[in-house]
């Protein structure tokens, strides 16, 4: 039985992914900032999939608590075979661009908190020489846009971190997959630009799980975002800085 820790388990994509894993018989530890909501998600997954799911809490910005949290989750699961990193927040970009505290809060929630937790989980998986890590990021990290560069820089750093980790973990047989999501129809993105290119959380989860089963390494979801971001990367900086999107 595969033992999986899902971080940010109350997000719509994480909930859908939890059902995919549970339906294949995985034992799950579903963790989020809100303990009551994490427990409700675990209960729902248990009922729907017929596999007991555990729940717990973590704080991405409380770095000192991360080691004990990962140890506890692995102990509750009876081992650890995989980690799915689903948490993050858009934050208030307008405030973050002028307030260092707000900027750091966005960066901690999207990068440094994830880097801390991933490092601890990777150490465990590396020692047992097996397992997987799925890092769900964003196409916003592909290039620094004037409208969301605080959030985008955190996601860009996360993708670079995962890329380096993937190279390091290859020798240990640990699979690291980076997911670069386009716009998904969730509360976090409601009302923002790009609505015509959105996909549902359920569809995103299907594509992520299929890519995981194929042991993909870097996945753009939906696929056309690879083409879109490829074109955006080709725009010269002298022109790109004048674009308002």
DSSP string, 40-79: HHHHHHHHHHSS-EEEEE--TT-GGGHHHHHHHHHHHHTS
Annotation marks residue 212 as catalytic: no
Place of tokens 């995962």: 162
The whole-angstrom separation of Cα 41 and Cα 195 is 27
Place of tokens 């998986």: 125
Place of tokens 């989020």: 32
The whole-angstrom separation of Cα 218 and Cα 185 is 21
Inter-residue contact 27 to 95 (CB < 8 Å): no
CA-nearest of 12, 7, 196, 22 to 118 is 7
**Of these residues, 151, 209, 212, 220, which one is catalytic?**
151
Active site residues: 151
């Amino acid at each position: 039985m595969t033992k999986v820790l899902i971080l940010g388990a109350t997000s719509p994509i994480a909930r859908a992914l939890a059902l995919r894993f549970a339906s294949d018989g995985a034992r799950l530890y579903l963790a989020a900032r809100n303990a009551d909501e994490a427990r409700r998600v675990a209960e729902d997954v248990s009922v729907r999939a017929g596999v007991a799911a555990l729940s717990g809490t973590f704080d991405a910005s409380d770095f000192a608590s991360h080691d004990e949290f990962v140890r506890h989750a692995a102990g509750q699961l009876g081992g650890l075979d995989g980690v799915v990193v689903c948490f993050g927040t858009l934050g208030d970009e307008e405030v973050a661009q002028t307030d260092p505290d707000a900027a750091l809060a966005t960066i901690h929630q999207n990068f440094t908190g994830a880097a801390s937790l991933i490092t601890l989980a990777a150490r465990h998986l590396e020692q047992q020489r097996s397992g997987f890590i799925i890092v769900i990021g964003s196409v916003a990290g592909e290039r620094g846009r004037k409208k969301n560069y605080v959030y985008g820089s955190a996601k860009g750093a996360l993708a670079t971190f995962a890329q380096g980790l993937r190279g390091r973990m290859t020798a240990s047989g640990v699979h690291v997959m980076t997911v670069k999501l386009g716009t998904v129809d969730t509360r976090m993105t409601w009302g923002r630009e790009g609505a015509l290119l959105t996909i549902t959380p359920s569809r995103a989860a299907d594509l992520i799980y299929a890519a995981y089963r194929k042991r993909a390494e870097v996945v753009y979801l939906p696929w056309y975002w690879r083409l879109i971001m490829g074109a955006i990367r080709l725009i010269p900086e002298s022109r790109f800085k004048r674009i308002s999107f």
